[in-house]
Structure 1
Amino acid sequence: MDIAQHIALIDELCLRPFPAEHGPSDGCTGAPGHFVAVLRSSHGLRADGPAERAVTVERYEEYRDALYERLAPRWGETDPWNLQTVLLRTEREEIPEPWAGLSARARVACLWEVEGTGRWVALAVTDRDGTDEVRLLAVVTREAPP
């Protein structure tokens, strides 16, 4: 998929009804109140060295930033959202999904409240777990960020 297709998917998820249960949902994972779409995923990176992983993370961050550049004129410019603070808060309070899971997997996200939809969109590169694949995720949720 290219940037235009990814933006079309995000737009669709901003309008699609949320599923009643957790599970696959037309190209993404759905749960009550949110969708998580994998826009890009590394393959076999778990076995590669840290240098290859760092290059992949950088490429995915550049792609996330390119998506941001296309979405910011529409939804507004925003500062990067530090997910480390959310992760630290999970130790002492209950953080709702999808935010708790996203903070456990990613360090920073681009975040917007999509006016007129009652939904939030986050774009994040999941790179916290060095034993897992690197992914670029689009999260669409009705749950406001904590």
Structure 2
Amino acid sequence: MTTAQHLAVIERLRVRAFPAERGPSEVGTSGPGYHLAELPGADGLGDGGFRDDGGFRDDGAYSAADADQSAAEHTALTEILTARFGEPRYISLWSALIRGGEGEEIPEPWRELSSGVRWLRLWRTGDRWLAVGLAGGTGDQRFRLVAAVTETDPP
């Protein structure tokens, strides 16, 4: 998938209505007040997707070249979004992961994102938030570019 295709997916999610119940979409998962998407890389990989429990599936090991490619795709996408929407906030989801593990209710999509994404670029676009980050990259998990559109404020 190219950067232009990533942008097209994000634009569709930005204007799409949110469903009444959580369920799969053609690019990831949607639920009340949010859409999550995994954006496949230029190599077509990256469709590990979201598990039913909200974590990320992974479909195998990755190489240093794969990590570099994922980082480059992330950079290209965030540069275009920054030109379009202004400077993003740079937020950590580490505390949401810890607080959720201690029993605090973390709203979606932030709970799902915190299970695999540690840092996000975040823009306010009208009445919605747009978040882009890299999931994975630990152990045998390869990096995956993910995007979220939500009306729920970050935790």
- Give the corresponding residue for 2:51: none
How many pairs does the alignment contain? 140
- 1:88 positional shift: 2.2
Deviation, structure 1 residue 134: 3.4
Whether 2:105 is the aligned partner of 1:112: answer no
Asked whether the equivalents of residues 106 and 128 of structure 1 are also in contact (C-alpha less than 8 Å), the reply is no
Residue 8 of structure 2 is matched in structure 1 by 8
Moved >4 Å (runs of 4+): 42-45
Following superposition, the deviation at residue 24 of structure 1 comes to 2.2
Aligned to 2:146: 137
Corresponding residue number in structure 2 for 1:19: 19
Structure 2 length as normaliser, TM-score?
A: 0.78
CA RMSD of aligned residues (A): 2.3
Matched, 1:88 2:98: yes
Task: State whether residues 126 and 135 of structure 1, in contact with CA within 8 Å, keep that contact through their aligned partners in structure 2.
Answer: yes
C-alpha deviation, 1:142, in angstroms: 1.0
Contact 2:27 2:39 (8 Å CA) reproduced: no
Indicate conservation of the 8 Å contact 2:34/2:109, yes or no.
yes
Deviation at 1:130, TM superposition (A): 3.4
- Distance in 1, Cα, partners of 2:22 & 2:142: 22
What CA distance in whole angstroms lies between the structure 2 residues aligned with 1:119 and 1:58? 30
* Alpha-carbon separation, structure 1, partners of 2:47 and 2:68: 12
Which consecutive residues of structure 2, in runs of 5 or more, have no partner in the other structure? 41-45, 49-57
CA contact (8 A) 2:131 2:148 kept: yes
Q: Residue 100 and residue 129 in structure 1: after superposition, are their counterparts in 2 closer, same or farther (change >3 A)? A: farther
Question: Alpha-carbon deviation of 1:30?
Answer: 1.3
Residues 113, 119 of structure 1: 8 Å contact kept: yes
Residues 67 and 137, structure 2, Cα contact 8 Å, conserved in 1: no
Other structure's SS at 1:14 match: helix
Question: Contact 1:104/1:128 (CA < 8 Å) preserved in 2?
Answer: no
Unaligned segments of structure 1, at least 5 residues: none
| Alpha-carbon distance change, 17 to 121 in structure 1, aligned in 2, over 3 angstroms | same
